[in-house]
Amino acid sequence: MWKAILDTYHLEGDSFMDSLIDQFIHFLSVEKGLARNTLESYQRDMVAYTSYLNEQGVTRIEESARTHIIGYLLVLREKGRATATLSRNMASIRAFYQFLVRDKLIDKDPSIHLETPKIEKRLPKVLSVDEVERLLDSPPVNHPAGLRDKAMLELLYATGIRVSELVNLDKADVNLDMGFVKCMGKGSKERIIPLGSVAIQMVRHYLQAGRPKLVKGSGDSALFLNHLGKQITRQGFWKIIKRYALKANIRAEITPHTLRHSFATHLLENGADLRSVQEMLGHADISTTQIYTHVTRTRIKDIYAKTHPRA
Protein backbone atom coordinates (compact mmCIF):
# COMPACT_ATOMS: atom_id res chain seq x y z
CA MET A 1 0.00 0.00 0.00
CA TRP A 2 2.70 2.49 1.01
CA LYS A 3 4.70 1.73 -2.13
CA ALA A 4 1.66 2.60 -4.25
CA ILE A 5 1.22 5.87 -2.42
CA LEU A 6 4.91 6.57 -2.86
CA ASP A 7 4.67 6.06 -6.62
CA THR A 8 1.61 8.31 -6.81
CA TYR A 9 2.87 11.22 -4.76
CA HIS A 10 6.63 10.79 -5.21
CA LEU A 11 6.91 11.90 -1.59
CA GLU A 12 6.39 15.49 -2.66
CA GLY A 13 4.87 18.32 -0.66
CA ASP A 14 4.75 19.24 2.99
CA SER A 15 1.43 17.51 3.64
CA PHE A 16 2.70 14.12 2.50
CA MET A 17 5.94 14.60 4.41
CA ASP A 18 3.88 15.42 7.50
CA SER A 19 1.92 12.22 6.88
CA LEU A 20 5.15 10.21 6.81
CA ILE A 21 6.24 11.77 10.08
CA ASP A 22 2.85 10.94 11.63
CA GLN A 23 3.21 7.32 10.53
CA PHE A 24 6.73 7.24 11.96
CA ILE A 25 5.55 8.59 15.32
CA HIS A 26 2.67 6.10 15.35
CA PHE A 27 5.18 3.29 14.75
CA LEU A 28 7.38 4.49 17.64
CA SER A 29 4.36 4.76 19.93
CA VAL A 30 2.70 1.42 19.14
CA GLU A 31 5.64 -0.85 18.37
CA LYS A 32 8.36 0.74 20.48
CA GLY A 33 6.17 1.94 23.35
CA LEU A 34 8.06 5.22 23.72
CA ALA A 35 6.93 7.82 26.24
CA ARG A 36 4.93 10.89 25.16
CA ASN A 37 7.79 13.33 25.80
CA THR A 38 10.16 11.19 23.71
CA LEU A 39 7.64 11.01 20.87
CA GLU A 40 7.24 14.78 20.93
CA SER A 41 11.03 15.18 20.68
CA TYR A 42 11.18 12.84 17.67
CA GLN A 43 8.36 14.75 15.98
CA ARG A 44 9.99 18.16 16.55
CA ASP A 45 13.30 16.86 15.23
CA MET A 46 11.78 15.40 12.07
CA VAL A 47 9.63 18.45 11.30
CA ALA A 48 12.76 20.62 11.55
CA TYR A 49 14.84 18.22 9.43
CA THR A 50 12.24 17.87 6.66
CA SER A 51 11.80 21.65 6.61
CA TYR A 52 15.55 21.93 6.03
CA LEU A 53 15.31 19.43 3.17
CA ASN A 54 12.54 21.49 1.61
CA GLU A 55 14.71 24.63 1.87
CA GLN A 56 17.44 22.72 0.02
CA GLY A 57 15.02 21.93 -2.80
CA VAL A 58 14.56 18.30 -1.77
CA THR A 59 10.85 17.55 -2.18
CA ARG A 60 11.18 13.76 -2.45
CA ILE A 61 12.58 11.99 0.58
CA GLU A 62 14.33 9.39 -1.59
CA GLU A 63 16.40 12.22 -3.06
CA SER A 64 17.83 13.09 0.35
CA ALA A 65 21.41 11.99 0.83
CA ARG A 66 24.20 11.68 3.36
CA THR A 67 25.34 15.22 2.46
CA HIS A 68 21.96 16.64 3.46
CA ILE A 69 22.17 15.04 6.90
CA ILE A 70 25.70 16.35 7.43
CA GLY A 71 24.64 19.79 6.20
CA TYR A 72 21.70 19.87 8.59
CA LEU A 73 23.88 18.95 11.58
CA LEU A 74 26.37 21.66 10.57
CA VAL A 75 23.54 24.21 10.51
CA LEU A 76 22.53 23.16 14.02
CA ARG A 77 26.13 23.47 15.19
CA GLU A 78 26.44 26.94 13.63
CA LYS A 79 23.33 27.95 15.55
CA GLY A 80 25.14 27.03 18.76
CA ARG A 81 23.18 23.86 19.53
CA ALA A 82 24.73 21.63 22.19
CA THR A 83 26.39 18.35 21.27
CA ALA A 84 23.61 16.51 23.09
CA THR A 85 21.07 18.19 20.79
CA LEU A 86 23.06 17.20 17.70
CA SER A 87 23.31 13.64 18.97
CA ARG A 88 19.56 13.46 19.63
CA ASN A 89 18.77 14.84 16.16
CA MET A 90 21.10 12.28 14.57
CA ALA A 91 19.29 9.51 16.47
CA SER A 92 15.91 10.83 15.30
CA ILE A 93 17.03 11.06 11.66
CA ARG A 94 18.56 7.58 11.76
CA ALA A 95 15.39 6.09 13.25
CA PHE A 96 13.27 7.85 10.62
CA TYR A 97 15.28 6.46 7.71
CA GLN A 98 15.28 2.99 9.26
CA PHE A 99 11.49 3.19 9.44
CA LEU A 100 11.27 4.25 5.76
CA VAL A 101 13.53 1.37 4.66
CA ARG A 102 11.62 -1.08 6.85
CA ASP A 103 8.33 -0.13 5.20
CA LYS A 104 9.98 -0.14 1.73
CA LEU A 105 9.36 3.57 1.23
CA ILE A 106 13.00 4.08 0.24
CA ASP A 107 15.64 1.64 -0.96
CA LYS A 108 18.72 3.02 0.79
CA ASP A 109 19.37 4.54 4.19
CA PRO A 110 21.64 7.60 3.78
CA SER A 111 22.30 7.73 7.53
CA ILE A 112 24.22 4.42 7.54
CA HIS A 113 27.83 4.74 8.75
CA LEU A 114 27.34 8.35 9.84
CA GLU A 115 28.88 8.83 13.26
CA THR A 116 26.78 10.24 16.08
CA PRO A 117 28.35 13.37 17.60
CA LYS A 118 30.06 12.36 20.82
CA ILE A 119 28.50 13.88 23.91
CA GLU A 120 30.74 15.29 26.59
CA LYS A 121 29.99 13.52 29.83
CA ARG A 122 29.18 16.32 32.20
CA LEU A 123 28.83 15.57 35.86
CA PRO A 124 25.34 16.49 37.02
CA LYS A 125 25.00 19.49 39.32
CA VAL A 126 24.01 18.46 42.84
CA LEU A 127 23.13 20.35 45.99
CA SER A 128 24.73 19.80 49.35
CA VAL A 129 22.56 18.34 52.12
CA ASP A 130 22.43 21.80 53.72
CA GLU A 131 21.26 23.39 50.44
CA VAL A 132 18.60 20.72 50.01
CA GLU A 133 17.32 21.35 53.54
CA ARG A 134 17.13 25.10 52.90
CA LEU A 135 15.28 24.52 49.65
CA LEU A 136 12.80 22.11 51.22
CA ASP A 137 12.16 24.49 54.12
CA SER A 138 11.43 27.44 51.80
CA PRO A 139 7.75 26.90 50.92
CA PRO A 140 5.31 28.45 53.43
CA VAL A 141 2.86 25.88 54.76
CA ASN A 142 0.12 28.30 55.82
CA HIS A 143 -1.75 28.22 52.49
CA PRO A 144 -2.71 25.54 49.90
CA ALA A 145 -0.11 26.42 47.23
CA GLY A 146 2.68 26.42 49.80
CA LEU A 147 1.58 23.04 51.14
CA ARG A 148 1.53 21.70 47.59
CA ASP A 149 5.00 23.07 46.82
CA LYS A 150 6.44 21.67 50.04
CA ALA A 151 4.89 18.24 49.34
CA MET A 152 6.21 18.25 45.75
CA LEU A 153 9.76 19.11 46.77
CA GLU A 154 9.79 16.60 49.62
CA LEU A 155 8.40 13.86 47.37
CA LEU A 156 10.89 14.64 44.61
CA TYR A 157 13.90 14.47 46.93
CA ALA A 158 12.54 11.41 48.76
CA THR A 159 12.13 9.35 45.59
CA GLY A 160 14.40 10.81 42.89
CA ILE A 161 11.63 10.54 40.30
CA ARG A 162 11.73 12.69 37.17
CA VAL A 163 9.79 15.96 37.16
CA SER A 164 7.61 14.62 34.33
CA GLU A 165 6.80 11.61 36.51
CA LEU A 166 6.07 13.84 39.50
CA VAL A 167 3.54 16.07 37.72
CA ASN A 168 1.84 13.04 36.14
CA LEU A 169 1.15 11.34 39.48
CA ASP A 170 -2.47 10.67 40.37
CA LYS A 171 -3.79 10.47 43.93
CA ALA A 172 -4.11 6.70 43.53
CA ASP A 173 -0.38 6.39 42.77
CA VAL A 174 0.62 7.30 46.33
CA ASN A 175 0.06 4.82 49.17
CA LEU A 176 0.87 6.70 52.35
CA ASP A 177 -0.13 3.87 54.70
CA MET A 178 2.28 1.45 53.03
CA GLY A 179 4.83 4.19 52.31
CA PHE A 180 5.42 3.99 48.57
CA VAL A 181 4.75 5.81 45.32
CA LYS A 182 4.03 4.15 41.98
CA CYS A 183 5.12 5.98 38.83
CA MET A 184 5.23 5.38 35.10
CA GLY A 185 8.69 6.00 33.66
CA LYS A 186 10.28 5.99 30.22
CA GLY A 187 9.02 3.33 27.87
CA SER A 188 5.83 3.03 29.96
CA LYS A 189 7.73 1.06 32.59
CA GLU A 190 6.14 1.12 36.02
CA ARG A 191 8.22 1.16 39.18
CA ILE A 192 7.49 1.39 42.90
CA ILE A 193 9.68 3.56 45.13
CA PRO A 194 9.66 3.77 48.94
CA LEU A 195 8.72 7.04 50.65
CA GLY A 196 10.44 8.48 53.71
CA SER A 197 8.53 9.56 56.82
CA VAL A 198 8.92 13.30 56.16
CA ALA A 199 7.58 13.00 52.60
CA ILE A 200 4.67 10.86 53.82
CA GLN A 201 3.82 13.46 56.46
CA MET A 202 3.94 16.37 54.02
CA VAL A 203 1.94 14.67 51.27
CA ARG A 204 -0.69 13.65 53.83
CA HIS A 205 -0.85 17.23 55.14
CA TYR A 206 -1.25 18.53 51.58
CA LEU A 207 -4.02 16.02 50.80
CA GLN A 208 -5.90 16.97 53.95
CA ALA A 209 -5.45 20.75 54.07
CA GLY A 210 -4.10 21.87 50.68
CA ARG A 211 -5.45 19.92 47.76
CA PRO A 212 -9.17 20.16 48.71
CA LYS A 213 -8.89 23.96 48.42
CA LEU A 214 -7.25 23.72 44.98
CA VAL A 215 -9.89 21.42 43.48
CA LYS A 216 -12.30 23.21 41.15
CA GLY A 217 -15.65 21.89 39.95
CA SER A 218 -15.66 18.14 39.47
CA GLY A 219 -11.97 18.04 40.28
CA ASP A 220 -9.01 16.31 38.70
CA SER A 221 -7.45 12.95 39.57
CA ALA A 222 -3.95 14.47 39.46
CA LEU A 223 -2.12 14.55 42.79
CA PHE A 224 -0.67 18.03 42.37
CA LEU A 225 -2.99 20.78 41.13
CA ASN A 226 -2.46 24.36 40.00
CA HIS A 227 -4.62 27.34 40.97
CA LEU A 228 -7.12 26.38 38.24
CA GLY A 229 -7.62 22.94 39.74
CA LYS A 230 -5.81 21.25 36.85
CA GLN A 231 -2.70 19.05 36.85
CA ILE A 232 0.36 21.18 37.40
CA THR A 233 2.73 21.29 34.42
CA ARG A 234 6.44 20.65 34.15
CA GLN A 235 6.91 24.34 33.31
CA GLY A 236 4.87 25.30 36.35
CA PHE A 237 7.09 23.23 38.61
CA TRP A 238 10.22 24.72 36.99
CA LYS A 239 9.03 28.19 38.01
CA ILE A 240 8.30 26.94 41.53
CA ILE A 241 11.73 25.42 42.16
CA LYS A 242 13.53 28.47 40.75
CA ARG A 243 11.54 30.76 43.04
CA TYR A 244 12.34 28.74 46.16
CA ALA A 245 16.01 28.34 45.21
CA LEU A 246 16.23 32.13 45.07
CA LYS A 247 14.44 32.40 48.42
CA ALA A 248 16.83 29.84 49.96
CA ASN A 249 19.82 31.84 48.67
CA ILE A 250 21.11 28.86 46.70
CA ARG A 251 23.73 30.00 44.22
CA ALA A 252 24.30 26.62 42.59
CA GLU A 253 22.75 26.09 39.18
CA ILE A 254 19.23 24.73 39.53
CA THR A 255 17.52 22.56 36.92
CA PRO A 256 14.28 20.54 37.09
CA HIS A 257 16.44 17.44 37.73
CA THR A 258 18.61 18.97 40.47
CA LEU A 259 16.79 17.16 43.29
CA ARG A 260 16.87 13.89 41.33
CA HIS A 261 20.65 14.18 40.93
CA SER A 262 21.04 15.16 44.59
CA PHE A 263 18.87 12.22 45.70
CA ALA A 264 21.09 9.72 43.86
CA THR A 265 24.36 11.29 44.96
CA HIS A 266 23.40 11.53 48.62
CA LEU A 267 22.23 7.90 48.66
CA LEU A 268 25.54 6.68 47.24
CA GLU A 269 27.54 8.91 49.59
CA ASN A 270 25.76 7.26 52.49
CA GLY A 271 26.41 3.69 51.38
CA ALA A 272 23.51 2.75 49.10
CA ASP A 273 24.40 0.15 46.47
CA LEU A 274 24.39 1.11 42.81
CA ARG A 275 21.78 -1.47 41.76
CA SER A 276 19.23 -0.18 44.25
CA VAL A 277 19.76 3.42 43.12
CA GLN A 278 19.43 2.27 39.50
CA GLU A 279 16.06 0.67 40.29
CA MET A 280 14.75 3.74 42.09
CA LEU A 281 15.85 6.10 39.31
CA GLY A 282 14.36 3.84 36.63
CA HIS A 283 17.57 3.62 34.57
CA ALA A 284 17.49 0.83 31.98
CA ASP A 285 21.30 0.63 31.93
CA ILE A 286 23.43 0.75 35.06
CA SER A 287 26.09 2.71 33.16
CA THR A 288 23.70 5.69 33.31
CA THR A 289 23.62 5.41 37.10
CA GLN A 290 27.40 5.09 37.34
CA ILE A 291 27.82 8.79 36.54
CA TYR A 292 26.84 9.45 40.16
CA THR A 293 29.79 7.45 41.44
CA HIS A 294 32.03 9.94 39.61
CA VAL A 295 30.15 12.76 41.32
CA THR A 296 30.69 11.27 44.75
CA ARG A 297 34.41 10.76 44.09
CA THR A 298 34.73 14.37 42.91
CA ARG A 299 32.93 15.64 46.01
CA ILE A 300 35.15 13.57 48.29
CA LYS A 301 38.24 15.07 46.63
CA ASP A 302 36.83 18.58 47.10
CA ILE A 303 36.10 17.93 50.76
CA TYR A 304 39.58 16.53 51.27
CA ALA A 305 41.19 19.53 49.57
CA LYS A 306 39.23 21.95 51.73
CA THR A 307 39.60 20.19 55.07
CA HIS A 308 42.89 18.28 55.23
CA PRO A 309 45.71 20.42 56.68
CA ARG A 310 48.24 18.91 54.28
CA ALA A 311 46.09 18.99 51.19
- Which residues belong to the active site? 162, 186, 257, 260, 283, 292
Which of 92, 132, 125, 130 has its CA nearest to residue 111? 92
Do 114 and 98 form a contact (C-beta atoms < 8 A)?
Answer: no
DSSP per-residue codes, 153-167: HHHHHHH---HHHHH
Give the number of other CB atoms < 10 A from CB of residue 132.
20
Q: How many CA atoms lie within 13 A of 243 on its CB side?
A: 12
Which of 103, 125, 113, 101 has its CA nearest to residue 252? 125
Do 262 and 127 form a contact (C-beta atoms < 8 A)?
Answer: yes
What torsion do the CA atoms of 258, 167, 290, 76 make, to the nearest 10 degrees?
Answer: -80
Which of 185, 182, 179 has its CA nearest to residue 162? 185
Sequence-distant (6+) residues with CB within 8 A of 3 are 104, 105
- In sign, the C-alpha dihedral spanning 168, 172, 177, 178 is negative
Sequence-distant (6+) residues with CB within 8 A of 92 are 41, 42, 45, 46, 49
- In sign, the C-alpha dihedral spanning 110, 111, 117, 118 is negative
